[in-house]
Chains A and B, each alone.
Chain A
Amino acid sequence: MTNNGMTDNGMTDNGMTDNGITNSSMTNSTNSSASAASAVEVRGVGRIFTARKGPGVTALEDVSLVVAPGEFVSLIGPSGCGKSTLLRLIADLDTPTSGSIEVFGKPAKQARIDQDYGIAFQQAGLLPWRTVAGNIELPLELHGIGKAARRRRAAELIALVGLADFASHYPDQLSGGMQQRVAIARSLAESPSLLLMDEPFGALDEMTRERMQNELVRICAETEAAVVFVTHSIPEAVFLSNRVVVMSPRPGRIRSIVDVTLGEMAGRGEDLREDEGFFHALSQVRDLLHGDEAAAAPAGARGVETR
């Protein structure tokens, strides 16, 4: 569960420390706290959306989750299970009604202000009037990083996501998959130690999707960032993750957490999809999700496995 191989040596071979762009205080704080604190620590979190009439909607109830530094955790569940809400809470785009969330040992709000995480949404959300390079530079520009350093970092990231020939293209000239790659590059711009991804490949076709998953595995191995990844695709969750968090709806809860023991991030390739362990984890997650459906049916009692 804890990713010893990644956290022990504390050394990074790419992007994190040698680019000279990350403002040093930020890097220090995340590095020093990374060894001490978990990347994300969610404790007893609930979120109730108040309605104008009648009782509010309980989107999340008593959710607790710890994500270790460098760990890849997927949140999976049917729509309405609060997986996106949980991600938004971690990103401090929303505040929990109860419980607490800490990111690298600080409150979520402070982590947001300190830019401890990068984020990517289902929609690439690129600014249409900026080129690929301009979009990737946006967070750097907003945080006052110099032009030369910005250029250098953007070029690095563009190479990382394999869009070297498209740096000066505008988003409307790119395919959906390319746009999403730009969005991922943008989320990596400030070398965050935590990536939050809300169904980033949800709008892509199956083939592009698998290619993007392979790339994300490679990128994660290179950057050694912890990832919280929201998805509704079981193979995607299993392929990418160290752990898969299966959630159930109404109210949103963590149903179970599946350990995926498929080895190091760096070693994961296309042939993993044919692996025995892959299928085992796949069916494990699927059973948990389907058991949830049965539980939601009026006849079945909650939490009873029906198969």
Chain B
Amino acid sequence: MTSAHTTPSSGSRRMLGVSSRWRPLVFGVLGVFVLAVAWELYKFLGPADGIVIGTLTILPRTNDLAMPHLWVMFERIFEPVTGAASAEPLWQAVLAGSLFTLGIAAVGWLVGVTVGLALALLMQRFRLAESALLPWIILSQTVPLIAIAPLVRRWGAQIQFGEFTWESWMSVALIASYLAFFPVSIGALRGLGSPDANHVDLMHCYAVGWWKTLWRLRLPASVGYLLPALRLAAVSAVIGSVVAEVSIGLRGGIGRLIVEYAGAAGNDPGKPWAPIFGSILVGLVAAGFVGLIGLFLRRFRRGEVPV
């Protein structure tokens, strides 16, 4: 009796104690929940033909084809891909596609981060390089992805030396890296330039060269700038992979599944949502991975003032 009495009180106290730590998670779940409620509420209350002003549809139709119930989407995930007897469950196909895309995005991310860091180091080291490269780096992001995808594929197809042949997934990874390098190069450049004049003077007093200053001062100081850039790069790499899969026509990834299943929307409205959830999952995993890196680099983020 007494133990049953004390347990809940100590439990609630612990809840209060950890509440600040779990608050982001609670709010995250709450956000998803609010979104789900809004979806269902609009579907329930909104007119069947959507809200139309003149000939312009402001809000979508609420019929089951345009806006399937959430539970329809989830039920569909556990059903087979097609009516064929040998068909695997939809979730399995989507998961396989997600992993495929995640792999490509990871390669693209790695290449992008490497190139981005190299560019940032170059620009930090040489003023001339900064004024020469920075405008082009910014300009590079104004080129639409759709435009460069076929080019990359065509150039790639001509690359062949010895055993090595350029494959389509490499084109996709390259395009992913094209998106990923940008935030890294900008973030790292800012981060490498972030140490106080004080600290730079100190290194000068210690008569150490650029490399030691880089390793002991500039790189550690840049972590706070680098982590958000890496996260942005990870998400960009995922988006780049998905879009490039579509525009290059690579099979096996989530991008292809999105296009493929969209065709089924007419009689199977739950199906197109499965790869969309898949791509969200890939994005979350990618961002989570960077979060993990951040956990290991926590020591270097002490200087950050919590706002």
A contact patch SS: loop
Assess whether B220 is interfacial by the CB under 8 Å rule.
yes
Please determine whether A138 and B205 come into contact, CB atoms closer than 8 angstroms: no
Give the docked Cα–Cα distance between A170 and B208 (Å): 24
| Cβ-closest chain A residue relative to B300 | A129
What residues of chain A lie closer than 8 Å to B217, measured between beta carbons? 127
What residues of chain B lie closer than 8 Å to A93, measured between beta carbons? 201, 204-205
CB distance from B260 to the nearest CB of A (A): 48
What residues of chain A lie closer than 8 Å to B212, measured between beta carbons? 142
What residues of chain A lie closer than 8 Å to B129, measured between beta carbons? none
Please determine whether B220 and A127 come into contact, CB atoms closer than 8 angstroms: yes
Given contacts A121-B198, A123-B198, contact A143 B206 (CB under 8 A): yes
CB distance from B118 to the nearest CB of A (A): 24
Give the docked Cα–Cα distance between A200 and B223 (Å): 28
| Cβ-closest chain B residue relative to A117 | B205
Give the docked Cα–Cα distance between A138 and B203 (Å): 10
| Cβ-closest chain B residue relative to A123 | B198
Question: Which residue of B202, B223, B299, B303 has the most chain A CB atoms within 10 A of its CB atom?
Answer: B202
Give the docked Cα–Cα distance between A179 and B196 (Å): 16
Given contacts A112-B207, A142-B206, contact A129 B216 (CB under 8 A): no
What residues of chain A lie closer than 8 Å to B301, measured between beta carbons? 129
CB contacts between A and B, total, < 8 Å:
49
What residues of chain B lie closer than 8 Å to A138, measured between beta carbons? 206, 216
What residues of chain A lie closer than 8 Å to B302, measured between beta carbons? 128-129, 170-172
Assess whether A101 is interfacial by the CB under 8 Å rule.
no
Give the docked Cα–Cα distance between A170 and B201 (Å): 21
What residues of chain A lie closer than 8 Å to B202, measured between beta carbons? 119, 121, 125
CB distance from A25 to the nearest CB of B (A): 15
Assess whether A113 is interfacial by the CB under 8 Å rule.
yes
Give the docked Cα–Cα distance between A115 and B203 (Å): 12
Assess whether B154 is interfacial by the CB under 8 Å rule.
no
What residues of chain A lie closer than 8 Å to B196, measured between beta carbons? 123, 125
Instruction: Encode contact with A along B206-242: 1 for CB under 8 Å, 0 otherwise.
Output: 1110001000110010010000000000000000000
| Cβ-closest chain A residue relative to B304 | A128
Please determine whether A129 and B299 come into contact, CB atoms closer than 8 angstroms: yes
The interface size bin for chain A is: 20 to 34
Given contacts A112-B207, A138-B216, A142-B212, contact A125 B303 (CB under 8 A): no
CB distance from B196 to the nearest CB of A (A): 7
What residues of chain A lie closer than 8 Å to B299, measured between beta carbons? 129
Give the docked Cα–Cα distance between A124 and B268 (Å): 66
Give the docked Cα–Cα distance between A124 and B216 (Å): 17
Assess whether A139 is interfacial by the CB under 8 Å rule.
yes
Please determine whether B216 and A119 come into contact, CB atoms closer than 8 angstroms: no
Give the docked Cα–Cα distance between A143 and B199 (Å): 17
The interface size bin for chain B is: 20 to 34
| Cβ-closest chain B residue relative to A118 | B205
Given contacts A128-B303, A142-B216, A172-B302, contact A119 B198 (CB under 8 A): no
What residues of chain A lie closer than 8 Å to B216, measured between beta carbons? 127, 138, 141-142
Give the docked Cα–Cα distance between A171 and B198 (Å): 15
Instruction: Encode contact with B along A121-160: 1 for CB under 8 Å, 0 otherwise.
Output: 1010101110000000011011100000000000000000
Instruction: Encode contact with A along B31-47: 1 for CB under 8 Å, 0 otherwise.
Output: 00000000000000000
Please determine whether A115 and B207 come into contact, CB atoms closer than 8 angstroms: yes
CB distance from A194 to the nearest CB of B (A): 12
CB distance from A65 to the nearest CB of B (A): 20
CB distance from A225 to the nearest CB of B (A): 15
Give the docked Cα–Cα distance between A92 and B202 (Å): 11
Partner of A125, one of B198, B207, B220, B300: B198
Assess whether A76 is interfacial by the CB under 8 Å rule.
no
Give the docked Cα–Cα distance between A123 and B199 (Å): 10
Give the docked Cα–Cα distance between A123 and B196 (Å): 10
Please determine whether B207 and A127 come into contact, CB atoms closer than 8 angstroms: no
Please determine whether B207 and A113 come into contact, CB atoms closer than 8 angstroms: yes
Give the docked Cα–Cα distance between A164 and B140 (Å): 54
What residues of chain B lie closer than 8 Å to A92, measured between beta carbons? 205
What residues of chain A lie closer than 8 Å to B207, measured between beta carbons? 112-113, 115
What residues of chain B lie closer than 8 Å to A127, measured between beta carbons? 199, 216-217, 220
Partner of B220, one of A129, A170, A171: A129
Question: Which residue of A93, A123, A127 has the most chain B CB atoms within 10 A of its CB atom?
Answer: A127
| Cβ-closest chain B residue relative to A91 | B205
| Cβ-closest chain B residue relative to A120 | B202
CB distance from B2 to the nearest CB of A (A): 41
Please determine whether B220 and A142 come into contact, CB atoms closer than 8 angstroms: no
Interface residues of A in 187-245 (CB under 8 A from B): none
Partner of A119, one of B199, B205, B208, B300: B205
Give the docked Cα–Cα distance between A123 and B195 (Å): 13
Give the docked Cα–Cα distance between A277 and B205 (Å): 37
Interface residues of A in 100-120 (CB under 8 A from B): 112-113, 115, 117, 119
Give the docked Cα–Cα distance between A127 and B302 (Å): 10
Closest 9 CB pairs of A and B: A128-B303, A125-B198, A129-B300, A113-B207, A128-B302, A142-B208, A119-B205, A129-B299, A142-B206
10 contacts between A and B (CB under 8 A): A93-B204, A93-B205, A121-B198, A125-B199, A125-B202, A128-B303, A129-B223, A139-B206, A142-B206, A142-B208
Given A129-B302, A170-B302, 13 additional A-B pairs, CB 8 A: A112-B207, A113-B207, A115-B206, A121-B198, A125-B199, A125-B202, A127-B220, A129-B303, A138-B206, A142-B206, A143-B206, A171-B302, A172-B303
Binding site for A on B (CB under 8 A): 196, 198-199, 201-202, 204-208, 212, 216-217, 220, 223, 299-303
